[in-house]
Amino acid sequence: MKSTKITYYTTTGIISAMMIFIAFETLLKPEVKVSMEHLGFPDYFRIEIGITKLIGAVFLWLPVRLLKESAYIGFAIMFASASLAHYMVGDPVGKVFTGFIFLAVLIVSYVSHSKIQEIK
């Protein structure tokens, strides 16, 4: 049980910290605007994604099941979509697999959270 909690808090902390960091970059850095254009997305989508990342990072920690589950689903879709977008424009393999790596961390967070809930 203790190792499951450590796994949950570590992976959830990684995901939420990363999402907060990337959200601010998405909203504030001009380089991200160029990157989003490269992927074929309009600028308003960059703003939506930035705000969504902040909201999702908060939702991961709330004890409300619907909000937490929504954050997990949203991030899973976001990570898979990011990998697909990078693949479709011919970006290097490293950029394509980054989304899948974070998806794996997200899945570990979700599974460990589910195990904790089963014990309660």
Average pLDDT (16-37) is 96
Tens of pLDDT, residue by residue over 35-80, are 999 999 999 999 999 999 999 999 999 999 999 999 999 999 999 9
Tens of pLDDT, residue by residue over 95-117, are 999 999 999 999 999 999 999 98
Do 111 and 72 form a contact (C-beta atoms < 8 A)?
no
pTM of the predicted structure, to 2 decimals: 0.92
- Phi, psi at residue 9, to the nearest 5°? -65, -35
